[in-house]
Structure formats: C-alpha cells, structure tokens
Structure 1
C-alpha cells in the first residue's frame, strides 16, 4: 500500500507555503495572527499552540480538497496525529505556579482543558469534524517524523484512509526559558497523508510519496539505513535541528543539504512535519527527488529519518 501527501500547509514567520519554505523562510516577518486566518470565534481561552494548530489544520484540509463549505470535513473519517514538545508548557507552568502560591480553587477553570498534552489534537478534531483515531506525540527531537510514521501506520493497517499530521511549536516566555533564551519557531506545518488508491478515487494526485522510515541511535546509522532502503539516491537531505555544519558529509557527499535558517528558531516537534512540507515544496518547484528528512542529532536519545519520493507524473496514474 502506497501513502501519499495529498495536502500541505505551512505557517511560520517568513514562510506561508511549501514553496516559500523550500526557498527559505525570510527574516523580519512578525508573529502569525491566527484570528486573521480562521476568525476570532473559538480562539478565546485557547493556548497559542492550539490556535496555530487550527490555522494549519484548516489550510491543509482545504489544500487536500477535504474541507466543506461549513468549514468541517464530512463523508469519511480522518485521523489526527499532532507533534509538539512545547505545546501547552505555558499553561502547565501557570497552573503549577498557582498551586505553589495558593490552592486548587485559585486555578482557572478555563485552563483545565489546556493542561492536557493532547489538547491540540483533540481541539482540531472537534472543530473540524475529524472522527478518526486521535493521537498526540511529544517525543523529543524525533517527534515530528515519529508522528508521520504513526499516521502512515494507521493508514497501512487499514484503520483509516486519511490522517492529518500537524507539527507545531509556540514561542513564549516559558518556552524561551526552557531553551536558554532562544526562541521557538512559533508555527509549523501540516500534511494530509492518504492511501494512494483513496486519493486517486477522488481525483487527487499525491504531492509526495512516503518511503522508508528509520529510527536508530545516531544520524550516520539512520542515513546508512535510508540509503540501503532501495530508494534512488537523494537529491536533497534535510538536516536535523541544530545539526553541526559537517554532519553526514562523509555519508552523502555531493548531495545538497537544506535546513531551517537560524533566525526561524527551534522547530523541535514541528521539525519533521516542516521537513515533509519542504519536500513537497521542492517537488512542486523542481519535480525531482528523493528527499531524506532527518531529525535528532547524535546528542539526542535517537535519530529518525524518512525518505520522501517525488509523485509519479499525471500520465502514469
């Protein structure tokens, strides 16, 4: 069974599309305003990560041709997998500070739903009518690609034909304290993964084809296993967040290396999904691949990698 990307959205300062992301986010843009994209209704009392998740969800579902006129999905189940390591950290810290300084009764009842780590995934499902399996992944450096793999597993196991994968990280004072003063990406990307046959049945051409996924200790091992997967040699490979400049040069000599620029901030749990969106942008612009996406450096507990292949030509479908 083949799994394809049938929809994509990107929303970070300096890039609002897959092509813009592949070209490199530009510095200087201010923070994203969710109300300008999805309206103010339903945003009150939602944390920043959930608001950004709404924007990414709406745009990706629309790009995949799944969003109805009423702003929800109908006519079939869609699963949701969200990756975020810092998502509701500000809410949790605020609640803990309140408990430390006062009592349980002093906490805000409006904060309670936001204190659950799966709030982004569940909120997106409720707002947009996504009735398939629902999963939140907070798995460190490899989280984004792990989320893509979980979604692929759901599809190949026959649980659902389509899964929305969102990778999002907010930027706020709490996150910056955790990152030692650095800022987070304050946005992310979303992809709709779909069984290739189901996509063809509704007249949709995939924007990228998912290849082998690998999770192992160390970037070198991941790249070696991806290279041994039988896929053609990569045209590009996407560096992990904060990767050393020389990483992997001995394994993939001559292959163009791409990465989020330093000014974009730490992508963390959003990185793997941003890498998939970058691959779509490269295929849209150049029509060639594959792309190797890699998350997690040798300093992390694991690294993960994914091969993304260019979609077949329309006449081959």
Structure 2
C-alpha cells in the first residue's frame, strides 16, 4: 500500500503556501493570525501552538477535500491525527510549575490544566474537526516531524485510517526561546497523507529511513532513490557534496515542525515543476523521500 500527499497547508510568518518555502524567509513579516482563517470562536483558552495547529489543520483538510463548512466530507473515524511538536505547550507547563512553586495547586488557573497535556493540540484538532481516528503526538527531538510522517504511513498501511492529518507546529514565546536559545518558527505546516487512489496526489511517499547517523540516513535514501534529486535539510553537513539543496535554517527553530515543513516544501517543488522528481528530506537521524505524483521512480 502506497501513501500519497493529498492536502497541504503552511503557516509561517510571511509564508502561507508551499512554494514560498523554496526561497529565503521574509524579514519583518507579521506573525500568523489563526483567527483570520478559523475565527475566534473556541480559541479563547487555547495556547499558541494549538491555535496555530487548528489553523493548519483547517487548511490541509480543506485542501484535501476532507473538510467543508467545518464538517468532514468522509467518515471521521477514518481520519487519524498525528501532531509533531517538541515545544508546543512548554509555556503552559512552565507557568503551572511556577504557580505551584510560589503557592500550591490551588494557584493553578483552571483553564491551564487541560493545556498542560502534551497531546492538547492533537486532541483539540480532533474535537474541532470531528476526526475520530487514532490520535497521537510525536515529541522526539529534531526527527519528530519525519517520525510523524512514518507513523502516519503505519496507520494507513495497517488499515487504521484512510487519511491521516499530520501537523508540525512550534510556537515562539519567551519560554521556547529560552529553551532553544533563539527565535522559534512560530508556525509550521500540515499535510494529509492518504491511501493511494482515494484522492488526487500532490506527492508520493517513498523511502522512510532511520539509521545511526544523518550521513548514513542520507546514503540510504540515495541508494533507494538514485539519480538527480533535491535535498531539504536544516543546515547539516550530511547532504552529499555537490547535490542540489535547500536549507530551512533561516525560518527560526522549526524543531518538531521541521519534517512536516520539509514535506510541504517538496509539494511546492513539484507544483513549480521543471526540476528533479525526487526530494529527500533530512531531519536528525531520520530521512524521507518524496516523489513527484507523475514520476515513475
């Protein structure tokens, strides 16, 4: 069973479409405003990562034809949800810890309690869009986004779902900046992976690899899909010398969003046309190859 990308959404400062990821990050761009797309209703007590995740989910599900007027167009129990975020609710957790340290559990804000769950973005997405398939969050360091794509493919291959919404999102705030030592992306991307043949494909999922080192992962991807390729990475030295590459390091710390943003960038590359029909994404020790929908590779 092959998996294909059938929907995509991007929400980063100054970039709202996949092709925009292929160039340098705009400077001085305004933060993403989720309320401009999904309105204010139901967002009052959500944290920044969840608001951004709901924004991305709406865009990707709509693009895949799975959402219309806020309702799923196919049975919701056949749509799974996988979120990748390493820093998502760190601000809520830190605020709760500080409140307890200064006073007691009585000092906690009641609306902070559900937001302290590491699965809050995935669960809120499922509730809002009535997605009743498997629901999980991946929090696995730099490779988290590509690992989320791998788990999405597992859900499709095992028959647990026909479509999987994969969202990678990281918020920018004082806590996350302190954790990573600099600006965070404050956004991310979402893609819908579907069983081949269920909807028009924007890209095909090829090799999914994890090895002991980034260089070994790159070599494994190259062996599985030889020939002219584009490499997407975050500024590592694992890309083979002389190969065409696009680095996303200027977007701020993408962390758990990186792999999903790379997948969205591959869709943008194929939509633009005229280049290699294979894109290799590298994040940590994980790697994924994405193939143009009409290619025979």
User: Which TM class, normalised by the smaller chain length?
Assistant: over 0.9
Alignment of 1:80-119 (within 5 A): 80-119=81-120
Q: How far did residue 89 of structure 1 move?
A: 0.2
Residue matched to 1:294:
282
Residue matched to 2:197:
197
- TM-score, scaled relative to structure 2: 0.95
Q: How far did residue 155 of structure 1 move?
A: 0.2
Q: How far did residue 261 of structure 1 move?
A: 4.3
* Contact 2:152/2:193 (8 A) holds in 1: yes
Q: How far did residue 24 of structure 1 move?
A: 3.3
SS at match of 1:7: strand
Q: How far did residue 234 of structure 1 move?
A: 4.3
* Structure 1 segments unaligned to the other structure (5+ residues): 200-204, 297-302
CA distance in 2: counterparts of 1:234 and 1:133, whole angstroms: 37
User: Does residue 162 of structure 1 match 2:163?
Assistant: yes
* Structure 2 segments unaligned to the other structure (5+ residues): none
CA distance in 2: counterparts of 1:75 and 1:147, whole angstroms: 22
Alignment of 1:264-275 (within 5 A): 264-275=251-262
- Between Structure 1 and Structure 2, how many residues are aligned? 293
Which of 242, 246, 250 aligns to 1:258? It is 246
* Contact 2:149/2:260 (8 A) holds in 1: yes
- TM-score, scaled relative to structure 1: 0.89
Cα–Cα, structure 1 residues 228 and 81, in superposed 2: closer, same or farther, change >3 Å?
same
Deviations 1:88-108 (A, max 9, x none): 000000000000000111101
* Contact 1:15/1:24 (8 A) holds in 2: no
SS at match of 2:209: strand
Alignment of 1:171-182 (within 5 A): 171-180=172-181, 182=182
* Contact 2:66/2:74 (8 A) holds in 1: no
CA distance in 2: counterparts of 1:148 and 1:274, whole angstroms: 11
Residue matched to 2:293:
311
Q: How far did residue 294 of structure 1 move?
A: 0.3
Residue matched to 1:248:
238
CA distance in 1: counterparts of 2:169 and 2:40, whole angstroms: 20
* Contact 2:46/2:115 (8 A) holds in 1: yes
CA distance in 1: counterparts of 2:113 and 2:137, whole angstroms: 17
4+ long deviations beyond 3 Å:
none
Residue matched to 2:208:
213
SS at match of 1:189: strand
Residue matched to 2:63:
63
Residue matched to 2:221:
226
User: Does residue 149 of structure 1 match 2:143?
Assistant: no
Task: Note the aligned Cα RMSD (angstroms).
Answer: 1.4
